[in-house]
Amino acid sequence: MASSINSTPPSNENQRKSFSLLFYKAVRDLKPVWMLEDMRTMETFYPEEDAGQRTYTPSEALLYAIVHDHQAYAQYLLSRYADEALAKPGERFCCCPSSAPHLAMAVRYDRRYILGLILQEAHRMHAFLHEQRSRGGCFHMEDGKTPLHLACELLRPEAVIMLLGNGASPHAEDHNGSTPLDVILEKLRDSKVNGGEKRQCLDNLLMFMPEVNFKMKGAMDREPECWSKVLGEETFQYLVGKSPAPLVLTAMQTILKQLSPATFPDSLHELPIPSSLKPLSLNYSQRDKLRVV
């Protein structure tokens, strides 16, 4: 008698949460694509009146794939669904105001291979690129930041090159008027060690900026000794407009302007110049072997 009283069926909400957890764990554990797709489109656990909540959209599934670096699943979703995979996810899954949650997520989690897949697919989507151009060459997130701002903030030099090479604007401003260059300059100013990834992000930005316009220029003029120490005399003089760009930088800016975003970064690696002159090597362009589906 007691067992029959306590054996009440689980609520629809509990069923939904249980299924969501199963799907999340399956992506995390890098299960085969066919299994994930069966789970994603499963309607068994959803009530008839809740038709809009029955499945994960390709967009929502792609966010899971990015978080857990499931490269094979990300590739499948982008090649099979394209427009749907890069659409804005539903509010039940992500309430972020960003118009580029997938790009931002790939940058945040440093998923270079998947970031490359997203950018490649974007070039095949006219509407996607039209929105990109209408926003000055990049998508905006919260506080007006772009994925390029985020890449500089998180010190991701590879992501900086990938975004710039695919058409992101180095001159985009957030709600405070700061450009990606301002972001990395603040990082350099506040750090005692100004080499490594900070300097690589700065150098990568400058290669795509024949004209340097940024918010902190006035502050640099007021503290020349400080900034000369941070940046080096040559770079400091160039950024404040007191000397022309170094010859090597000017040459690279001219070369990079000729490269088509649609073929980047392959066209970068094929340039007949010494590898030491090229921006930081991009792992994703080597087409790392995908996990077995």
Q: Mean pLDDT across the stretch 80-91? A: 84
Residue 27 has pLDDT above 90, yes or no: yes
Least confident window among 20-34, 77-91, 224-238: 77-91
Token reading at 102: 């997938």
> Which residue type sits at 218?
G
What percent of the chain lies above the pLDDT cut of 90? 54
Each residue of 249-269: pLDDT tens digit? 999 999 998 888 888 888 888
- The pLDDT score that the predictor gives to residue 263 is 85
Task: Please name which of 194, 159, 189, 173 lies closest in space to residue 279, comparing C-alpha atoms.
Answer: 159
Lowest model confidence (mean pLDDT) among 69-83, 90-104, 105-119, 158-172: 90-104
What is the three-state SS of the chain?
CHHHHHCCCCCHHHHHHHHHHHHHHHHHCCCCHHHHHHHHCCCCCCCHHHHHHCCCCHHHHHHHHHHCCCHHHHHHHHHHCCCCCCCCCCCCCCCCCCCCHHHHHHHHCCCHHHHHHHHHHHCCCHHHHHHHHHCCCCCCCHHHCCHHHHHHHCCCHHHHHHHHHCCCCCCCCCCCCCCHHHHHHHHHHCCCCCCHHHHHHHHHHHHCCCCCCCCCHHHHHHCHHHHHHHHCHHHHHHHCCCCCCCHHHHHHHHHHHCCCHHHCCHHHHCCCCCHHHCCCCCHHHHCCCCCCC
Q: Could you read off the pLDDT of 216-225 as tens digits, one per residue?
A: 999 999 999 9
| Minimum mean pLDDT range among 42-51, 68-77, 177-186, 246-255 | 42-51
What distances in angstroms separate CA 144 from CA 98, 134, 165, 202, one per listed residue? 9, 14, 21, 21
Higher-pLDDT residue of 6 and 178 is: 178
The encoded tokens of residue 272 equal 């007949």
Distance, in Å, from the CA atom of 201 to the CA atom of 199, rounded to the nearest integer, reads 5
- pLDDT value of residue 140: 55
- The mean-pLDDT minimum among 79-93, 100-114, 218-232 falls in 79-93
Stated pTM of the model: 0.83
Please give the residue that has the higher pLDDT: either 49 or 119: 119
Q: Looking at the predicted structure, is the pLDDT value of residue 100 above 50?
A: yes
Contact, 36 vs 27, CB < 8 A? Answer: yes
